[in-house]
């Protein structure tokens, strides 16, 4: 790097310090969004490598999935909650791309997800999409696509009904809240293909099931599921 560029980088760090999205500490120039400590503290599940993991068990008897996983455990006041909050409510798309990259790396290390043909983000209701400016699941899928080289299909399924927040709802109430929320727009785009439904957080799996069940009405489609985090409470 030239002396001029070194000076420019130094001034940038002085006046616009690059800080960790997890803890707020100053980052080294070679670090990305997280410092090494926060990166190591991300609680990976290793579900991608194991059949019959807790995410797959959620869908037993409810929806046929080829494979399912989440990349991280979700817990309140932890780094993963901070990152997802920044993605969903603070306009930090770069967090979604970063976490999508990390999620895809876990899939690449597993032979259980190596036949995926397309990534499908779980859609937002149009009014919520307009308010937020983007679909966080689509940003995550874009980050995954960068690593996997698999296309993202954004216009296969839509969310036709507005649903109130799922927070504090039990499993049955969550299902009643979302069971008729989705509609297939272009089943031909996924017929005879293996698709990966992408979302941010799975708790009871009700929203994932409602969306995935509609995708499965397309002709001869296989469905797998991947989300950033698994919330157990």
Indicate whether 87 and 25 sit together in one domain.
no
Indicate whether 116 and 62 sit together in one domain.
yes
Name the pLDDT band for 32 (thresholds 50, 70, 90). confident
Indicate whether 7 and 62 sit together in one domain.
no
Residues above pLDDT 90, as percent of the chain: 74
Name the pLDDT band for 15 (thresholds 50, 70, 90). very low
Indicate whether 25 and 100 sit together in one domain.
no
Indicate whether 23 and 72 sit together in one domain.
no
What are the two backbone dihedrals, phi and then psi, of residue 183, each rounded to the nearest 5 degrees?
-140, 140
The per-residue pLDDT for 89 is: 94
Indicate whether 138 and 209 sit together in one domain.
yes
The per-residue pLDDT for 163 is: 64
Name the pLDDT band for 3 (thresholds 50, 70, 90). very low
Say how many domains are in the chain: 2
Q: Please, is 16 exposed, middle or buried when counting C-beta atoms within 10 Å of its C-beta (0-12, 13-18, 19+)?
A: exposed
42-56, 145-159, 165-179: segment of lowest average pLDDT:
165-179
The per-residue pLDDT for 209 is: 95
The CATH number of residue 184's host domain is 3.40.50
The pLDDT tens digits of the residues spanning 119-162 come to 999 999 999 999 999 999 999 999 999 999 999 999 999 998 76
The per-residue pLDDT for 210 is: 94
- Give the H/E segment covering residue 225: strand 222-231
The per-residue pLDDT for 106 is: 97
Indicate whether 193 and 112 sit together in one domain.
yes
Indicate whether 29 and 116 sit together in one domain.
no
Q: Which residue has the higher pLDDT, 37 or 233?
A: 37
Dist CA 15 CA 110 (whole Å): 42
Indicate whether 159 and 81 sit together in one domain.
yes
C-beta contacts of 214-218 below 8 A and 24+ residues apart: 214/157, 214/182, 214/183, 214/184, 215/120, 215/156, 215/157, 215/184, 215/190, 216/63, 216/64, 217/184, 217/187, 218/184, 218/187, 218/188, 218/190, 218/191
Summarize the confidence of residues 64-72 as an average pLDDT. Answer: 98
The pLDDT tens digits of the residues spanning 84-96 come to 999 999 999 999 9
Domain residue limits at 1: 1-38
The per-residue pLDDT for 162 is: 67
Q: Which residue has the higher pLDDT, 3 or 59?
A: 59
The per-residue pLDDT for 214 is: 96
Indicate whether 115 and 29 sit together in one domain.
no
Indicate whether 123 and 143 sit together in one domain.
yes
11-25, 44-58, 136-150, 195-209: segment of lowest average pLDDT:
11-25
Is residue 164 over pLDDT 80? no
Is residue 2 over pLDDT 70? no
Indicate whether 99 and 1 sit together in one domain.
no
- CA 123, chain centre distance (Å): 12
206-215 helix and 171-178 helix, angle to the nearest 10 degrees: 40
């Amino acid at each position: 790097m030239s002396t001029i560029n070194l000076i420019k980088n130094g001034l940038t760090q002085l006046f616009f310090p690059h800080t960790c999205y997890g803890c707020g500490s100053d980052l080294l120039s070679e670090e990305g969004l997280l410092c090494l400590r926060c990166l190591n503290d991300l609680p990976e599940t290793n579900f991608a490598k194991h059949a019959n993991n807790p995410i797959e068990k959620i869908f037993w008897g409810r929806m046929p999935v080829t494979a399912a996983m989440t990349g991280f455990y979700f817990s309140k006041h932890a780094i993963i909650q901070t990152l997802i909050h920044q993605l969903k409510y603070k306009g930090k798309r770069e967090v979604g791309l970063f976490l999508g990259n990390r999620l895809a790396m876990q899939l690449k290390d597993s032979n259980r997800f190596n036949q995926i043909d397309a990534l499908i983000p779980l859609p937002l209701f149009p009014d919520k999409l307009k308010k937020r400016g983007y679909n966080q699941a689509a940003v995550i899928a874009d980050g995954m696509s960068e690593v996997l080289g698999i296309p993202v299909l954004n216009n296969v399924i839509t969310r036709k009904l507005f649903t109130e927040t799922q927070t504090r709802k039990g499993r049955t109430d969550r299902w009643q809240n979302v069971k008729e929320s989705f509609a297939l727009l272009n089943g031909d785009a996924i017929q005879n293909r293996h698709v990966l439904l992408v979302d941010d957080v799975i708790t009871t799996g009700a929203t994932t099931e409602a969306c995935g069940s509609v995708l499965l009405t397309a002709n001869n489609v296989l469905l797998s599921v991947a989300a950033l985090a698994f919330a157990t409470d």
